[in-house]
Amino acid sequence: MATALITGASNGIGLELAKIHAAKGDDLVLVARNKQKLDELKSELEAAHKVKVCTIGKDLSLPNAAKEVYDETTRQHIRIDYLINNAGFGDFGMFAETDWNKELQMINLNITALTHFTKLYLQDMVKRRSGRIMNVASTAAFQPGPTMSVYCATKAYVLSFSEAVNNEVSDKGITITALCPGPTESGFQAAAAQEESKIVKGKKMPSAKAVAEFGYRAMISGKTIAIHGMMNAILANSVRFMPRLLVVKVTRNLLDKAQ
């Protein structure tokens, strides 16, 4: 019986990944700030799929949060076969005007917690010579993003970090997948105050379920970079052939508010 640890599991892509793993018969460790939502999901999944679900309410933007989760799974003798670093959030606005405390939380969650989780559980996976890790990046990882500068920079880190460490462990029976969704119906845009941007407003976005299913297949197959959607893949790869100044201008235009 395999066990998947999923951060940010109370909604969106994380919640859908929890449902997928439970349907496959995997036990779960679900981590998010909202313990009540996790416990409701636990009851639903355990009843439907006869799996064991451990819930841990934790604000992963706080120092040492990843280590506290790791210590709890160790204490309960839970072996993590799949680590899914899904938790993350963004913010929208001019960097000179945005809230530093919110950006610090974003960096702590999107970068520090993800990196620490990977460090802790990867060491165990290397000893066993087995395991799969999915780090949720974004198509935002492929170019600088004016009006979402810190968010795009954090996701660029996730992509680069995932590719590098995947190379390091490729001969040890372990794979690391960077899942790169575009805009998704997951609640992210509302949390990031991005609903009025041109890239989102009036657009039909894929569901969190569709992105989660795509990500799960990519992780199981050991794919290193998984960009959801053909158009997203074309756009993400096209920036390599464009002047950097033009890339930034185009991205700014897409992220600006629709008139």
- Whose tokens are 């979402």? That residue is 148
Return phi, psi of residue 184, to 5°. Answer: -135, 145
Angle at Cα 254 formed by Cα 248 and Cα 256, nearest 5°? Answer: 95
Please give the pLDDT value at position 241. 66
- Domains in the chain with CATH codes: 3-255 (3.40.50.720)
DSSP state of 11: S
pLDDT at residue number 192: 46
Continuous H helices in 24-143:
35-49, 65-75, 100-107, 114-128
> DSSP assignment of 91-122, as one string?
--S-TTTS-HHHHHHHHIIIIIIHHHHHHHHH
How far apart CA 200 and CA 222 sit, in angstroms, is 30
CA gap 19, 8 in Å, rounded = 13
Q: What per-residue confidence (pLDDT) applies to 257?
A: 61
User: What tens-digit pLDDT sequence spans the chain (259 residues)?
Assistant: 899 999 999 999 999 999 999 999 999 999 999 999 999 999 999 999 999 999 999 999 999 999 999 999 999 999 999 999 999 999 999 999 999 999 999 999 999 999 999 999 999 999 999 999 999 999 999 999 999 999 999 999 999 999 999 999 999 999 999 999 999 886 654 544 555 554 555 567 899 999 999 999 999 999 999 999 888 887 877 777 666 777 677 777 777 764 5
Cβ neighbors of 46 (< 8 A, separation 6 or more) are 52, 53
Does the model's pTM come out above 0.75?
Answer: yes
Yes or no: say if 14 and 40 are a contact pair by the CB < 8 Å rule.
no
Are 131 and 81 in contact by the 8 Å Cβ rule? The answer is yes
